[in-house]
């Protein structure tokens, strides 16, 4: 069915879905030109749109993220867990470590280092519900951080990724967002409705990823200032974007196995090495004790904070934090969902959902405890100046924390390398996925198109930094993520409908075999979906 998505040459691009590629490219190039000429206006437009979405539709984003958590748990524990993403006889395409490394690198990126110390500290000194800089504020700061980086975000990735993997590997549909609508609109996914959702996915992916890229160069600039006294300004950051975009372009041109997989494995190894260093040379016992307590507090308050919307307090704290994060995760979900689907062939739905939902989140919980939790504990014990540095610039917080560890200069340099690597793995993965979307769902799209999208990401990140730095980046993520929230709701329904039909067809197929009194107790060949059952005509049609 993949060839039903009309693709053809467009200028130098050899294999594109013309409606998706041309509209997406025009919108994105148009924004780059507009933002470069009128940066203040672009910043104001995004800021106003963000405020409107947060004020009037924050409740909607909260509902969507909670529905994703419920559906993910149902997929893992319910009747569809044994369904394999591919033929039932297949095994996983990638080993567990490589799978987790690529998933983690694509799904988190630079934010882990940028916010690792800064976010818990910020919730500690600017607590929305507790007395600032108190023990209660410290406990709640970790709960809020876990909320923003925990199960809700990964559940969004899980739903999108599982839906795409299911329809691609079991139904032979393109590896594209449009395929998730097949149970609802059928062959019309190859028309305007399919084009529209793929364009939304490209737009959301682009702006979600460049938000992280912008945060990354701001933090690299802070690290270079700490090490070499280089000026901390937007022009240095734009030069950094140009350099790192070049690296990302080289990686994405090498492809999934030669470039992205190797970089992801190397990156996660560096991350674990840094985490081990912090645990060994830091307050080791406190890290393990507080990790257990933080997990308990998070689980205990999970339901309350999942539905908290500031309705009675009338405050606006969530606009810059929770609502921003839900929109950011949603805007990343087309990119991460397609990428995770691409690397998950051969896994069962249960393996997929449990792996995506719990493994990265648990690693992140420990990371935030070892960095942000330790920073809070140091402030409670004697005010080492971390709060003041964080107030000045979020990106400086982790470098200031490293001043209290041995080999400060070496670790600072390592952090800069890691941020660059996260930048590269996020950008090359996103370019690969956007190219798949604009090439009609091709699993291995042309390389020249990947280069175009990698360069576009760098250009948009530069424009947003000129338009207002962090606030413009956050606003762009919210604005780009909001429309795709509606698509995710439709994807949830489509996945459940597709799975229920599959189960019914399989049941009827088995009944047919029983009436034919076949000796075999297992299916004679791998069951791969309605179109490949090999049963009687009514079954092959999915009747």
- Tokens 């039909």 correspond to 501
Q: How far is it, in rounded angstroms, from Cα 231 to Cα 222?
A: 9
CATH-assigned architecture of domain 2-540? Up-down Bundle (1.20)
Tokens 């934010």 found at: 111
Specify whether the CB–CB gap between 379 and 112 falls below 8 A: no
Is 389 within 8 Å of 397 (Cβ atoms)? yes
pLDDT attached to residue 533: 36
Distance CA 532, CA 171 (A): 9
* Neighbour-count burial of 246, counting CB atoms closer than 10 A to its CB (0-12 exposed, 13-18 middle, 19+ buried): middle
Residue 85 DSSP SS3: coil
**Whole-model pTM?**
0.84
> What distance in Å separates the CA atoms of residue 58 and residue 84, rounded to the nearest whole number?
36
Please tell me whether residue 525 adopts helix, strand or coil conformation. Answer: coil
- Who contacts 398 (Cβ-Cβ below 8 Å, separation ≥6)? 113, 114, 116, 117, 118, 219, 371, 415
DSSP 8-class letter at 541: T
- Residue 360 burial (CB count, 10 A): 21
User: What Å distances lie between residue 514 and 320, 511, 517, 519, 536, CA to CA?
Assistant: 59, 5, 5, 9, 13
* Backbone torsions φ then ψ of 320, nearest 5 degrees: -85, -10
Contact between residue 219 and residue 238 where contact means Cβ atoms under 8 Å apart: no
Contact 143, 294 (CB under 8 A): yes
Cβ(361)–Cβ(154) below 8 Å: yes
Split the chain (543 residues) into runs of 10 and give each run's mean pLDDT: 51 66 84 79 80 86 96 94 85 83 70 88 94 95 96 95 92 88 89 89 80 78 79 81 81 60 74 92 96 97 94 84 89 85 91 92 94 95 86 87 92 85 74 78 70 82 75 74 90 92 64 54 46 36 35
pLDDT the model gives residue 542: 37
DSSP code, position 372: I
Answer yes or no: are the C-beta atoms of 402 and 411 closer than 8 Å. yes
> What is the greatest pairwise CA distance in the chain?
80
State the Cα torsion 84-87-88-92 to the nearest 10°.
Answer: -60
Residue pair 323/58 in contact by the 8 Å Cβ criterion: yes
- Angle of helix 18-37 versus helix 447-468 axis, rounded to 10: 30
Phi/psi for 87 (5° steps) reads -65, 150
Please name the residue ranges forming H helices in 150-186: 151-169, 182-185
90 near 195, Cβ under 8 Å? no
pLDDT at 364: 92
The H-assigned helical ranges of 343-469 are 349-368, 374-382, 386-392, 397-402, 408-438, 447-468
pLDDT of the residue at 7 = 53
Instruction: Determine the Cα–Cα distance for residues 338 and 121; give it in Å rounded to an integer.
Output: 33
Q: Would you state the pLDDT for residue 202?
A: 87
pLDDT at position 357:
92
Report CA dihedral (450, 455, 457, 462) to the nearest 10 degrees.
180
CB neighbour list of residue 440: distance below 8 Å, 6 or more residues apart: 2, 5, 6, 7, 15, 16, 17, 20, 174, 176
Contacts of 147 (CB under 8 A, 6+ apart): 298, 302, 305, 306, 322
Cβ–Cβ < 8 Å for 378, 404: yes
State the DSSP code for 84.
Answer: B
pLDDT of residue 508: 59
């Amino acid at each position: 069915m993949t060839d039903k998505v009309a693709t053809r040459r467009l200028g130098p691009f050899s294999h594109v879905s013309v409606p998706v590629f041309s509209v997406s490219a025009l919108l994105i190039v148009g924004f780059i030109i507009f933002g470069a000429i009128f940066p203040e206006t672009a910043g104001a437009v995004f800021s106003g749109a963000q405020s409107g979405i947060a004020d009037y539709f924050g409740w909607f984003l909260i509902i969507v993220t909670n529905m994703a958590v419920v559906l993910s748990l149902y997929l893992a524990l319910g009747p569809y867990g044994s369904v394999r993403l591919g033929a039932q006889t297949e095994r996983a395409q990638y080993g567990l470590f490589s799978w987790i490394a690529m998933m983690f690198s694509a799904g988190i990126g630079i934010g882990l280092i940028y916010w690792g110390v800064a976010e818990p500290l910020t919730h500690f000194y600017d607590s929305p519900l507790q007395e600032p800089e108190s023990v209660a504020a410290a406990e709640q700061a970790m709960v809020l951080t876990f909320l923003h980086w925990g199960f809700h975000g990964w559940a969004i990735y899980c739903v999108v990724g599982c839906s795409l993997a299911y329809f691609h590997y079991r139904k032979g549909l393109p590896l594209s967002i449009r395929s998730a609508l097949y149970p609802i609109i059928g062959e019309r996914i190859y028309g305007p409705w399919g084009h529209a959702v793929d364009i939304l996915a490209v737009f959301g992916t682009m702006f979600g990823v460049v938000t992280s890229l912008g945060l990354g160069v701001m933090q690299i600039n802070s690290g270079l200032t700490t090490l070499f006294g280089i000026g901390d300004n937007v022009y240095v950051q734009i030069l950094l974007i140009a350099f790192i975009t070049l690296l990302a372009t080289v990686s994405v041109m090498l492809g999934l196995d030669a470039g992205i997989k190797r970089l992801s494995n190397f990156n996660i190894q560096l991350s674990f090495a840094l985490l081990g260093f912090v645990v060994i040379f830091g307050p080791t016992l406190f890290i393990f004790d507080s990790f257990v307590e933080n997990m308990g507090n998070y689980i205990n308050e999970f339901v309350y904070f999942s539905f908290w919307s500031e309705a009675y307090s009338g405050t606006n704290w969530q606009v810059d934090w929770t609502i921003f994060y839900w929109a950011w995760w949603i805007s990343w979900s087309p990119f991460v969902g397609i990428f995770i689907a691409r690397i998950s062939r051969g896994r069962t739905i249960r393996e997929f959902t449990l792996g995506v939902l719990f493994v990265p989140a648990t690693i992140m919980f420990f990371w935030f405890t070892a960095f942000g939790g330790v920073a809070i504990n140091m402030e409670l014990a004697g005010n080492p100046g971390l709060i003041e540095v964080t107030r000045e610039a979020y990106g400086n917080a982790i470098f200031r924390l490293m001043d209290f560890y041995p080999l400060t200069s070496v670790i600072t340099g390592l952090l800069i390398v890691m941020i660059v690597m996260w930048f590269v793995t996020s950008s090359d993965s996103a370019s690969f996925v956007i190219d798949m979307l604009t090439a009609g769902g091709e699993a291995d799209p042309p390389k020249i198109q990947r280069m175009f999208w990698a360069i576009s990401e760098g250009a948009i990140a530069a424009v947003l930094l000129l338009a207002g730095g962090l606030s413009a980046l956050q606003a762009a993520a919210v604005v780009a993520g909001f429309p795709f929230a509606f698509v995710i709701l439709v994807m949830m329904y489509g996945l459940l409908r597709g799975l229920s039909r599959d189960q019914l067809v399989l049941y009827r197929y088995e009944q047919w075999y029983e009436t034919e009194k076949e000796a075999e107790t297992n299916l004679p060949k791998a069951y791969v979906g309605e179109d490949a059952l090999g049963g009687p005509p009514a079954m092959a049609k999915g009747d």
